[in-house]
């Protein structure tokens, strides 16, 4: 493939990969998709990461089909999730943005993927492979964000957008932490999904008065924690909806612009951006395992909004870019 529009994603045949020393071959049942995948496909990432042709995708769920030398054969047949780019441990100073970019072009959109055996994460009983795939990146991100934000019982938490793959998990996780959640999204369908995920109130940020709606339901003082995955104008408004001494955390920008944190109001507000958060060694595994465990326990339930056959990855990308999706989009092999 080359950089460009979704139609550059073309299915092709390739020799079956063979696991080398310390590696495992995963028979992929489900491949994760991310908005970041579309940015990479357009060649729009802000620093050089990949040269076409390449196989996109940084997360898979499936069964271990083969193992290389030095790998425990007891892994064969195990249900696992894996990040296909997780070849080396994260450096102490590596940011989330660089880690995600490196992982997002490493062969997840495939029927079989070779990964380091040490990075395989078992899927708990009771969690199907589709939900597991939905958690390999979004679940990790949601747990990371909630930990970084320090959500406490009784906090007022604003989540934007509250009907996406990460957003619905954030609503659930914040509610499980004892917070009172306001979910913001665009349109009645997405507002209903935010409420179904556990938000006690919802606001449509396509409306000019959405900020007043949030202030009303937060008693006029704003949210103690704002988790902003929209950026742009919505993000700038969300920043102003953060309570004095509250926490604002920007975690996404589908419109291309992260909320500028230089606009943060005075008064002790803590303003953070996901791309700048460090990923310490072991964090990816720890956060993903926690998301899977919370799902097995019934406290998280990833919303799978739509699935596409692997060979129709171009349609998945087009839908993501048109914002015609809710929850998580997955590719099925």
CA distance 314 to 275: 26
Residues 6+ apart with CB under 8 A from 286: none
Extract the tokens encoding 206.
Answer: 């396509």
Q: Give residue 44's pLDDT.
A: 82
Q: Give residue 94's pLDDT.
A: 54
Q: Chain centroid to CA 179: how far? A: 21
* Contacts of range 315-322, beta carbons closer than 8 Å, 24 or more positions apart: 315/6, 316/33, 317/6, 317/9, 317/33, 317/37, 317/38, 317/41, 318/6, 320/33, 320/35, 320/37, 320/38, 321/6, 321/38
Q: Give residue 91's pLDDT.
A: 45
Q: Give residue 294's pLDDT.
A: 97
Lowest mean pLDDT among 130-134, 179-183, 240-244, 279-283: 279-283
With a cut of 90, say whether residue 261 has pLDDT above it: no
Lowest mean pLDDT among 85-94, 110-119, 293-302: 85-94
With cut-offs at 50, 70 and 90, classify the pLDDT of residue 145. very high
Percent of the residues in the chain that have a pLDDT greater than 70, as a whole number:
90
The phi, psi pair for 308, rounded to 5°, reads -140, 145
With cut-offs at 50, 70 and 90, classify the pLDDT of residue 274. confident
With a cut of 90, say whether residue 129 has pLDDT above it: yes
With cut-offs at 50, 70 and 90, classify the pLDDT of residue 105. very low
Extract the tokens encoding 171.
Answer: 């609503």
Q: Chain centroid to CA 181: how far? A: 19
**Contact in structure between 310 and 31 (CB atoms under 8 Å):** yes
The angle subtended at Cα 192 by Cα 189 and Cα 196, nearest 5°, is: 140
The pLDDT tens digits of the residues spanning 202-227 come to 999 999 999 999 999 999 999 999 99
Strand partners, 61: 30, 81
Question: Considering the domain 140-276 in this protein, what is its CATH number?
Answer: 3.40.50.720
138-149 and 165-176 helices cross at what angle (nearest 10)? 40
With a cut of 50, say whether residue 104 has pLDDT above it: no
CA distance 98 to 330: 23
Q: Kindly state the helix (H) or strand (E) to which residue 10 belongs, with its residue range.
A: none
Q: Give residue 130's pLDDT.
A: 98
Strand partners, 79: 63
Q: Give residue 182's pLDDT.
A: 98
With a cut of 90, say whether residue 92 has pLDDT above it: no
With a cut of 80, say whether residue 301 has pLDDT above it: yes
Who wins on pLDDT, 92 or 320?
A: 320
Question: Considering the domain 6-122+303-332 in this protein, what is its CATH number?
Answer: 3.90.180.10
Q: Give residue 107's pLDDT.
A: 86
Q: What residues does each domain of the chain span?
A: 6-122+303-332, 140-276
Who wins on pLDDT, 5 or 90?
A: 5
Q: Tell me whether domains 6-122+303-332 and 140-276 share a fold.
A: no
CA distance 276 to 93: 10
Which of 81, 32, 110, 19 minimizes the C-alpha distance to 284? 81
With a cut of 50, say whether residue 5 has pLDDT above it: yes
Lowest mean pLDDT among 26-40, 129-143, 267-281: 267-281
| Whole-number average pLDDT of the chain | 90
Lowest mean pLDDT among 58-67, 68-77, 86-95, 248-257: 86-95
Extract the tokens encoding 231.
Answer: 């950026």
With cut-offs at 50, 70 and 90, classify the pLDDT of residue 299. very high
CA distance 124 to 224: 34
End-to-end CA distance of the chain: 19
Who wins on pLDDT, 158 or 88?
A: 158
CA distance 75 to 65: 9
Q: Would you list the DSSP string of 63-81?
A: EEEEE-TTS-GGGTT-EEE
């Amino acid at each position: 493939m080359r950089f460009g529009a979704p139609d550059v994603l073309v299915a092709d045949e390739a020799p079956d990969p063979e696991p080398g020393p310390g590696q495992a071959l995963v028979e992929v049942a489900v491949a994760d998709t991310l908005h970041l995948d579309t940015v990479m496909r357009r060649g729009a990432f802000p620093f050089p990461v990949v040269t076409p042709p390449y196989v996109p995708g940084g997360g898979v769920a499936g069964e271990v089909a083969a193992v290389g030398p030095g790998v425990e054969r007891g892994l064969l047949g195990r249900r696992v999730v894996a990040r296909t780019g997780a070849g080396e441990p994260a450096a102490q100073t590596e940011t989330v943005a660089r880690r995600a970019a490196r992982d997002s072009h490493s062969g997840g959109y495939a029927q079989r993927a070779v990964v380091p055996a040490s990075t395989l994460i078992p899927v708990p009983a009771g969690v199907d492979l589709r939900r597991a795939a939905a958690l390999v990146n979004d679940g990790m991100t949601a747990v990371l964000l909630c930990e970084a934000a320090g959500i406490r019982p009784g906090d007022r938490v604003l989540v934007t957008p509250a009907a996406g793959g990460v957003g619905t998990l954030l609503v659930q996780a914040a509610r499980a932490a004892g917070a009172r959640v306001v979910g913001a999204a665009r349109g009645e369908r997405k507002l209903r999904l935010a409420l179904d995920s556990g938000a006690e109130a919802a606001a449509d940020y396509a409306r000019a008065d959405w900020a007043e709606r949030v202030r009303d339901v937060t008693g006029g003082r704003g949210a103690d924690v704002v988790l902003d995955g929209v950026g742009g104008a919505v993000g700038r408004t969300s920043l102003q909806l953060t309570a004095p001494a509250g926490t604002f955390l920007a975690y996404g920008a589908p419109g291309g612009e992260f909320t500028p944190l230089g606009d943060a109001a005075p008064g002790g507000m803590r303003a953070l951006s996901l791309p700048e958060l460090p990923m310490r060694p072991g964090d990816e595994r720890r956060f993903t395992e926690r998301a899977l465990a919370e799902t097995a326990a019934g406290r998280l339930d990833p919303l799978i909004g739509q699935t596409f056959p692997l060979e129709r990855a171009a349609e998945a990308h087009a839908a993501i870019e048109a914002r015609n999706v809710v929850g998580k989009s997955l590719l099925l092999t």
